[in-house]
Amino acid sequence: MKKVLVVYYTQSGQLNEALRATLAPFENNTDVSIHYENIKPIKPFPFPWRYMEFCEAFPETVTGVPFELQPFSFNPDDNYDLVIIAYQAWFLSLSIPINSFLKTDDAKKVMMNKPVVTIVACRNMWINSQEKIKVHLKELKANLVGNITFVDKAPNLISVVTVLAFVLTGGRGKFLGIFPKYGVSEEDLKEAPKFGDIVLKHFKTGNYTDQQKELVDAGAIQIKSNLMLLEGRASIMFPIYSKFILKKGKYQDPKRRGRVRSFGILLPIGMLILSPIITIVSRMAPLFASKRIKVDIEYYSQNSLRE
């Protein structure tokens, strides 16, 4: 019997829904055994978040500071045929629990020389976090052979409002009765098993050569140029501001509270100003940078790191 290890972390369960829908074809297969490892930080992150707690997690998320985790239930000496990492992006980076997992010795043991598939469920910005996971996997000597993404398809500023309402209240209904429901749509969840079918097909042969191309053709990756440009700008600024906060103290140090608060003010302002500007620029970009955009979209749709 072939074995799959699935490592995931979710707060509201949204990621879990996308994960389970994708893996339905594996679940229906009696020749496969799946071990689900739900990563649990020793000190859980709140859900719903208070806005200051949410901002407090920013510097550690962006700079990749690992947090302590509860012991894992998988045996790191087991020989898995495939490892699946299902994660959500936090501040254009890996969520702290998943980043912390990737930094453990057990992750190294269990993932070395193994094929890995990533499944992302987030608001709409995962490009930078996926680049970060590529770096981790390279260090762990694991082979990234597939990436499947699920996003909220509402316009960017709408989903900024609905994700904040969602993570700060925990409610998934229509915010104020007028905004669309946050998150991955029911239709996208219904389509998810087709990605699982593709992975299962390659898993059975152990040959993953064409897997990502097939996933992309099936719609597993949809990159919008405005979001790619916006993420590119923000991913330069986030590490600078994180270090600025970290200079004042570590996680939850009261000495850094003023700087964390200033981030909390600047983040929505920056989004409100930058998002429309970049959307306009990206609409015009095909006039002067269409080749560059096409090359970047192709690059972020595949699994290796830039030289």
When asked if residue 55 is in the footprint of ligand FMN (CB under 6 A), the reply is: no
Backbone angles phi and psi of 143, in degrees to 5: -110, 110
Q: Nearest distance from residue 280's CB to ligand FMN, in Å?
A: 21
**Does residue 82 belong to the site contacting ligand FMN (CB under 6 A)?**
no
> Which residues, 6+ apart, have CB-to-CB distance to 61 below 8 Å?
90, 91, 93, 94, 95, 96, 99
Interface pick for ligand FMN out of 5, 39, 85, 125 (rule CB under 6 A): 125
The answer to the question of residue 133 lying near ligand FMN (CB under 6 A) is: no
Residue 156 binds ligand FMN (CB under 6 A): no
Question: Which DSSP category does 7 fall into?
Answer: E
HSE (CB half, 13 Å, CA atoms) of 162? 24
Candidates 15, 19, 62, 165: give the one binding ligand FMN (CB under 6 A): 15
Number of residues lying near ligand FMN (CB under 6 A): 20
Considering only the stretches 106-114, 121-129, 195-203, 275-283, report the one whose residues sit in contact with ligand FMN under the rule CB under 6 A.
121-129
Give dist(CA 270, CA 156) in Å, integer: 13
Establish if 57 lies at the interface with ligand FMN (CB under 6 A). yes
- 100 lies in the binding site for ligand FMN (CB under 6 A): no
- Going 185 to 216 to 23 to 303, the CA torsion angle's sign is negative
Binders of ligand FMN among residues 231 to 250 (CB under 6 A) are none
What is the nearest approach in angstroms of ligand FMN to the Cβ of residue 291? Answer: 27
Q: Please report whether residue 12 would count as binding ligand FMN according to CB under 6 A.
A: yes
Pick 48 or 249: Cβ nearer ligand FMN: 48
Q: Is 115 helix (H, G, I), strand (E, B) or coil?
A: strand
Kindly identify the residues of this chain, within the stretch 165-224, that bind ligand FMN according to CB under 6 A.
167
Say whether 35 sits in a helix, a strand or coil: strand
User: Residue 4 forms beta bridges with which residues?
Assistant: 34, 82
- Name the residue among 41, 93, 33, 86 with its Cα closest to residue 63: 93
Tokens of 250: 């570590």
- Residue found by looking up tokens 């719609």 in the block: 219
* Nearest-approach distance from CB 105 to ligand FMN, in angstroms: 25
The DSSP secondary structure of 237-249, one letter per residue, reads HHHHHHHHHHTT-
The answer to whether the bond into 115 is cis (omega within 30° of 0) is: no
Residue selected from 5, 6, 14, 21 as contacting ligand FMN according to rule CB under 6 A: 14
Which of 4, 84, 122, 127 touches ligand FMN by CB under 6 A?
122
Give the one residue of 22, 99, 100, 124 binding ligand FMN; rule: CB under 6 A: 124
Asked if 91 is part of the footprint of ligand FMN (rule: CB under 6 A), the reply reads: yes
Query: What sign has the CA pseudo-torsion 131, 133, 137, 142?
Result: negative
Q: Binding to ligand FMN by residue 38, rule CB under 6 A?
A: no
Query: Residue 27, Cβ neighbours under 10 Å: how many?
Result: 12
88 near ligand FMN, rule: CB under 6 A: yes
Binding region for ligand FMN (CB under 6 A): 10-12, 14-15, 54, 57, 88-92, 121-126, 163, 167
